[in-house]
A and B are shown apart, each in its own frame.
Chain A
Amino acid sequence: MAPSETEREDLPTGLFDRLTRTSEPALQDLREAAQLALQVEFTTIPVYLSALYSISDTGSHAYQTLRSVAMEEMFHVNQAANIIVALGALPKFTGDAVPTFPGYLPQANPNTTPMVGLFRASPDVFANVFAAIESPAQYGAPPQGDNYDSIAQLYGALVDAVDAYPGNPFSTVDVPGRQRTNIYLGKFGGNVNAVVDKKSFYAAVNEIVEQGEGTVPPEKPLVPVESFGTYNHYGKRTDGTYGPILGTPYELSHFLKFREVSLDSANFPATRPIISNPDSNDYTNQRAKRLSDSFDYRYSLMLRAFEAAFKDDSPDPYFNVVLSIMHRVLPHLARALMSTPAFADGDSSVGPNAAPAWRYTSDTRLPFEELTQALEGELDQLSTSPRDDALRTHLKAAVAGDKEILTAAKALGL
């Protein structure tokens, strides 16, 4: 019997309370819960990338570790998006879905989870922010979707909600979206899989949780007993060497990766002197302001294109627009910003330098062509002084990346 109107009013207001305590959870609530998981994963990416680009030595262990985690978070976002598509909705990457900084993970317990922000990398940031984000759930911690203490609890709550749903909430036909299994590139761990039923959903969630906080140690023998198998990816192994990884127990979880970097503070690499939690309104160097806006425009454009990449009926902008901005434009622009003093007459080697704010703007009035021209203009204005060499290199690369997507962006009306 369906709950009466009055009974519904008495129900708890939290999304996850509704999902697990009502006899007929609404599909819409499930979709919202999955979108929440997506946003939690999404929120970590600018946080990790800002710190990542602030590290100047790309070969350093800290950089490589953080990069591997950031890439796996992108895979988690993709996997969460597939869950949403399977639930018959479209994943949202724009507007309110875009994280703002500083803040907390969406709907997290502010008393037990770290304040997340855009920080210059340091051992303390690895320990107090990154490792804290990926903290394992305490033993016996219940699944908890609202006001959760760890990401694992949130996923636990999502699994409970799917469990509670009668029948199979997932579908691959007659849905407006397309699941993507082909956009997760590189050597990093995990695979993005299509979600078709509860079983594939559980497998997807399990992989995300295991990569993040790791498996509960008591289940695993202390000495690895698996022989080498089909190698999933490469990385630092639990036996102390770098090499092929089959999966647990050879794999370090994100939590342990961050912990390891934070403890080795003596070897922490040099970083660019950037402002943490930047706000371009504070900048008095106009170039820093302009570059910050340039970054946000392209970031927003990428998010819109990424959102479109999950729509079934539209052309697929992933392999030209999204990948190009993600791979060939934003990293260069981020480093250009980080080589630009935030204040007029500043010295970029001393700082404080600007940094990307990762703000979403729905303003699409400026055609992409003009954005590119503006960036080229920026390049022309640079002094010939060697002081601007680093900035010039990064800007040049970003402009080259821009030009590769001009036609594609125009065709898509982005």
Chain B
Amino acid sequence: MSDYKIYPPVGIARVGNAPEKFYIGPEAYRGLPINPDGSPFTQDDFRDEQGRMCRQAARFHIYHGDQEITLDTPGVKSITWTVHMANKKASWYEFATNEGEQGYASNHPLRNAHVEDRHSLIIDPGPRRISGAYAGPVPMDRYTVPEDYQGANFPEGTLYPNRECIDTLGELRTDEAGRLLVLGGLGISGTEDENAVIKQYANNDGWWDDTGDGPVRAVIEWDDDSLDPADPAWVSVAPPSYAPEIANLVTLWDTIFDSAVRAGHYPQINDQGMWQSGPDGYKPNFQSEIKPLLERATTYTWVAAIPPKPHKFDMEMLGAVPYREDHYRGLRNWILDILRPPANENTIISGRGGTMMPYLAGDNCLIDGTLTSTYLRLTDTQFFFVQQWAAGHFVNEPVADRGPQSLTRNILENCVGGAFSPGIELTWISRNRAIYSCEDPFRINAAPPTYGPLNLGFTPSAMEPGDLTRYMAIPWQADFNECSSQPIGERVLWWWPAQRPEFVYLETQPEGGSLASIPTPDEQTGGQVAWVGTDFDQMRGDFISFADDVQMVQYWSQLGFVMEKEVEGERRFVEVARTLPRPFTPDGN
């Protein structure tokens, strides 16, 4: 353990197909991305001048306590960053919902099981180093592998359907103060098979994508030539965030935090397995621990066909701390009672007859058996907070900025914390406590730097490049396309509308097109349209997705973003920066 730590302990970069222009990932909860030059972010900044989607860089900071250390800090001579990313998806086990979370069974199939040289299934550019201000780009590509690195590997040849090559997993840059910026791949996915068929949402032999992950290290060199290494962080590359200002009900922060709470890192909440409930127990803060949950439910209505009425909340009533009299207990209980409690992952209708929330698919609604977990629920910790709040044991206080802790929380709150089927950024590996440091609940145990080749197995105490993202779908576009709506029984549930919009509102009515054939004033002013898909029949394969996952590989970079704007005098979350025509008709192949 060092006194210096890199934050966030887990940073998320996102793919884009613009080779140069990029932006920095939001560092505020539900915030917009950050322009590298500091100018306010507008809808034009999602794409470059040729209409290509910008990559989202993960920015890393070094802190000493609450004090940020940069090149401008007195005494600092240099900061040298080392990043080693890899993509191990093709070499890992098949993803089959929650099978493997407690360790894989001996009969669990491998991806590309016929390939004997498993190292040839890893994309590994080796480590890269960068220092100084405004440095880079330092590419993590096939052409600049360090001479002493043994395990470098990239897929050979042209990949279909887009006839592109995966030559890089991204690049490193630094900003004006020497903070690290990690950019991921260009969103290239493909297979050497010219037919380019995607058969399944998560496992497709012969396919590659250019996401990846790996440790981020830094060494501070002081003016007196002494060196201080900082505790390493991790960078992971994910699909684009198409609705950055809308958060998932269960965020990645909630999930990791919950695992840490239950492991005893926050005894004021859970002490040796005992929840600190009741009037003398833990009092959640309405502002930071309850209100965001309600707001997330509200903002979902902008990105899915979710009725706005039951998702509107009177925060004044709900945040009123009982004093002598409790005027709103009935209302708080009403909300508690519709939330799906722990151990009710397979219950859609509660004993009292209400549809339980969230109305979202769960970790395993796909494979029958003993591990079914059909519907998403709040984490244990989130649910505990809501229980305490409903009983009246809560406070309502402004939220203090806790420096790097807040940065961690903000960044991970913009990511998905469930359902993990497999997910958007990371899957259930994120709640496996064995991969985290015992002292620092959000920091992943990084294996010592290696000269390669990388390990093919899983050592939670020594996590290697590629060990976080390898569980995710290959290519990511397959899962991203299919996991829009999910028929379960007679109902159709949603997956991750906050990351993968399902229905969107338009800023202005498109001119012409077939929408004009159903002209009524209501629709033109307030109608929701499918983000992707034909939208009419819930039972159709292309209800709110492309008919073929390969089309997501082809068109993902042209889809629109959802952004809060003032439209007709109202604040609305509307679709912007879409380059794909609407209505969209694929070329017929």
* Residue in B328, B492, B528 whose beta carbon sits within 8 Å of that of A230 in the complex: B528
The answer to whether the Cβ of A324 comes within 8 Å of any Cβ in the partner chain is: yes
Contact of B349 with A59 in the complex, beta carbons under 8 Å: yes
Q: Mark A270-295, 1 if CB is under 8 A from B, else 0.
A: 00000000000000000000000000
**Which of these binds chain A: B110-118, B129-137, B273-281, B518-526?**
B518-526
Contact of B317 with A226 in the complex, beta carbons under 8 Å: no
Closest chain A residue to B308 by CB distance?
Answer: A230
* Residue in B352, B355, B490, B535 whose beta carbon sits within 8 Å of that of A228 in the complex: B535
Contact of A319 with B527 in the complex, beta carbons under 8 Å: no
Q: A63-B353, A319-B317 are in contact. Are A231 and B522 (CB under 8 A)?
A: no
Contact of B314 with A320 in the complex, beta carbons under 8 Å: no
The answer to whether the Cβ of A128 comes within 8 Å of any Cβ in the partner chain is: no
| Measured CA separation A324–B332 after assembly (Å) | 10
Q: For residue B524, give the distance in angstroms from its CB to the closest CB of chain A.
A: 11
Contact of A408 with B309 in the complex, beta carbons under 8 Å: no
Q: A241-B538, A408-B327 are in contact. Are A233 and B307 (CB under 8 A)?
A: yes
Contact of A320 with B326 in the complex, beta carbons under 8 Å: yes
* Residue in A67, A242, A323 whose beta carbon sits within 8 Å of that of B353 in the complex: A67
Contact of A231 with B352 in the complex, beta carbons under 8 Å: no
The answer to whether the Cβ of A191 comes within 8 Å of any Cβ in the partner chain is: yes
Contact of A319 with B330 in the complex, beta carbons under 8 Å: yes
Q: A229-B526, A241-B539 are in contact. Are A187 and B307 (CB under 8 A)?
A: yes
Q: Which of B282-338 contact A (CB under 8 A)?
A: 301, 305-310, 314, 317, 325-331, 333-334, 337
Q: Which of B354-401 contact A (CB under 8 A)?
A: 354-355, 359
Contact of A324 with B329 in the complex, beta carbons under 8 Å: yes
Contact of A229 with B522 in the complex, beta carbons under 8 Å: yes
The answer to whether the Cβ of B588 comes within 8 Å of any Cβ in the partner chain is: no
Contact of A244 with B306 in the complex, beta carbons under 8 Å: yes
The answer to whether the Cβ of B351 comes within 8 Å of any Cβ in the partner chain is: yes
The answer to whether the Cβ of B163 comes within 8 Å of any Cβ in the partner chain is: no
* Residue in A59, A182, A331, A408 whose beta carbon sits within 8 Å of that of B348 in the complex: A59
Q: Mark A185-210, 1 if CB is under 8 A from B, else 0.
A: 11100010000000000000000000
The answer to whether the Cβ of B148 comes within 8 Å of any Cβ in the partner chain is: no
Contact of A242 with B492 in the complex, beta carbons under 8 Å: yes
The answer to whether the Cβ of A234 comes within 8 Å of any Cβ in the partner chain is: yes
Q: Which of A148-200 contact B (CB under 8 A)?
A: 182, 185-187, 191
Contact of A231 with B305 in the complex, beta carbons under 8 Å: yes
A residues in contact with B528, CB < 8 Å: 228-231
Q: For residue A177, give the distance in angstroms from its CB to the closest CB of chain B.
A: 19
Contact of A327 with B333 in the complex, beta carbons under 8 Å: yes
The answer to whether the Cβ of A107 comes within 8 Å of any Cβ in the partner chain is: no
Closest chain B residue to A331 by CB distance?
Answer: B352
* Residue in A59, A234, A321 whose beta carbon sits within 8 Å of that of B330 in the complex: A321
Closest chain A residue to B487 by CB distance?
Answer: A241
Closest chain B residue to A185 by CB distance?
Answer: B334
The answer to whether the Cβ of A58 comes within 8 Å of any Cβ in the partner chain is: yes
Contact of B326 with A233 in the complex, beta carbons under 8 Å: no
A residues in contact with B350, CB < 8 Å: 58
B residues in contact with A232, CB < 8 Å: 307, 309
B residues in contact with A234, CB < 8 Å: 307, 355, 359
Contact of B310 with A227 in the complex, beta carbons under 8 Å: no
The answer to whether the Cβ of A411 comes within 8 Å of any Cβ in the partner chain is: yes
Q: Mark A318-343, 1 if CB is under 8 A from B, else 0.
A: 11111110011001000000000000
* Residue in B301, B331, B337 whose beta carbon sits within 8 Å of that of A319 in the complex: B331
The answer to whether the Cβ of A316 comes within 8 Å of any Cβ in the partner chain is: yes
Contact of B309 with A227 in the complex, beta carbons under 8 Å: no
Contact of B305 with A242 in the complex, beta carbons under 8 Å: no
Contact of A226 with B520 in the complex, beta carbons under 8 Å: yes
A residues in contact with B306, CB < 8 Å: 231, 244
The answer to whether the Cβ of B536 comes within 8 Å of any Cβ in the partner chain is: yes
Contact of A226 with B523 in the complex, beta carbons under 8 Å: yes
Q: Mark B449-469, 1 if CB is under 8 A from A, else 0.
A: 000000000000000000000
Contact of A239 with B537 in the complex, beta carbons under 8 Å: yes
The answer to whether the Cβ of A109 comes within 8 Å of any Cβ in the partner chain is: no
Contact of A242 with B490 in the complex, beta carbons under 8 Å: yes
Contact of B326 with A408 in the complex, beta carbons under 8 Å: yes
Q: A58-B352, A228-B503 are in contact. Are A408 and B334 (CB under 8 A)?
A: no
* Residue in B326, B352, B490, B515 whose beta carbon sits within 8 Å of that of A407 in the complex: B326
Contact of B327 with A228 in the complex, beta carbons under 8 Å: no
| Measured CA separation A242–B348 after assembly (Å) | 13
Contact of A228 with B309 in the complex, beta carbons under 8 Å: no
B residues in contact with A318, CB < 8 Å: 330
| Measured CA separation A319–B333 after assembly (Å) | 10
| Measured CA separation A68–B529 after assembly (Å) | 27
| Measured CA separation A230–B503 after assembly (Å) | 10
Q: A228-B503, A242-B492 are in contact. Are A233 and B327 (CB under 8 A)?
A: no
Contact of A324 with B536 in the complex, beta carbons under 8 Å: no
Chain A interface residue bracket vs B: 35 or more
Closest chain A residue to B529 by CB distance?
Answer: A227
The answer to whether the Cβ of A64 comes within 8 Å of any Cβ in the partner chain is: yes
A residues in contact with B352, CB < 8 Å: 58, 331
The answer to whether the Cβ of B491 comes within 8 Å of any Cβ in the partner chain is: yes
A residues in contact with B329, CB < 8 Å: 319-320, 324, 404-405, 408
Q: Mark A210-250, 1 if CB is under 8 A from B, else 0.
A: 00000000000000011111111110000101111000000
Q: A242-B491, A411-B325 are in contact. Are A322 and B348 (CB under 8 A)?
A: no
Q: For residue A107, give the distance in angstroms from its CB to the closest CB of chain B.
A: 32
Contact of B518 with A408 in the complex, beta carbons under 8 Å: no
| Measured CA separation A64–B350 after assembly (Å) | 11
Q: For residue A117, give the distance in angstroms from its CB to the closest CB of chain B.
A: 22
B residues in contact with A407, CB < 8 Å: 325-326
Q: For residue B535, give the distance in angstroms from its CB to the closest CB of chain A.
A: 6
B residues in contact with A319, CB < 8 Å: 317, 327-331
Q: For residue B567, give the distance in angstroms from its CB to the closest CB of chain A.
A: 14
Closest chain A residue to B515 by CB distance?
Answer: A227
| Measured CA separation A228–B530 after assembly (Å) | 8
B residues in contact with A411, CB < 8 Å: 325
Contact of A186 with B310 in the complex, beta carbons under 8 Å: yes
* Residue in A52, A182, A315, A327 whose beta carbon sits within 8 Å of that of B314 in the complex: A182
Closest chain A residue to B310 by CB distance?
Answer: A187
Contact of A229 with B523 in the complex, beta carbons under 8 Å: yes
* Residue in B330, B353, B535 whose beta carbon sits within 8 Å of that of A58 in the complex: B353
Q: For residue A46, give the distance in angstroms from its CB to the closest CB of chain B.
A: 17
Q: For residue A245, give the distance in angstroms from its CB to the closest CB of chain B.
A: 8
| Measured CA separation A374–B307 after assembly (Å) | 42
Contact of B337 with A233 in the complex, beta carbons under 8 Å: no
Q: For residue A328, give the distance in angstroms from its CB to the closest CB of chain B.
A: 6
Q: A187-B310, A241-B490, A241-B539 are in contact. Are A64 and B353 (CB under 8 A)?
A: yes
Contact of B333 with A324 in the complex, beta carbons under 8 Å: yes
| Measured CA separation A208–B517 after assembly (Å) | 31
Contact of B492 with A320 in the complex, beta carbons under 8 Å: no
Q: For residue B37, give the distance in angstroms from its CB to the closest CB of chain A.
A: 38
Q: A327-B330, A328-B330, A331-B352 are in contact. Are A227 and B490 (CB under 8 A)?
A: no
| Measured CA separation A323–B329 after assembly (Å) | 9
| Measured CA separation A67–B492 after assembly (Å) | 20
| Measured CA separation A233–B301 after assembly (Å) | 11
A residues in contact with B492, CB < 8 Å: 241-243
| Measured CA separation A58–B349 after assembly (Å) | 7
Q: A58-B349, A58-B353, A242-B491 are in contact. Are A227 and B536 (CB under 8 A)?
A: yes
A residues in contact with B308, CB < 8 Å: 230-231
A-B contact pairs, 27 of them (CB 8 A): A58-B351, A59-B353, A63-B353, A64-B353, A182-B314, A225-B518, A227-B518, A227-B527, A227-B529, A227-B536, A228-B527, A233-B310, A234-B307, A241-B490, A241-B492, A242-B491, A319-B317, A320-B328, A321-B330, A324-B329, A327-B330, A328-B337, A404-B329, A404-B330, A405-B329, A407-B325, A408-B329
In the A-B complex, the 5 residue pairs with the smallest Cβ-Cβ separation, listed nearest first, are A323-B330, A59-B349, A58-B353, A324-B330, A244-B305
A58-B352, A227-B518, A234-B355 provided; 13 other pairs, C-beta below 8 A?
A67-B353, A191-B309, A227-B535, A228-B527, A231-B301, A241-B490, A243-B305, A315-B327, A319-B317, A319-B327, A319-B328, A320-B326, A408-B326
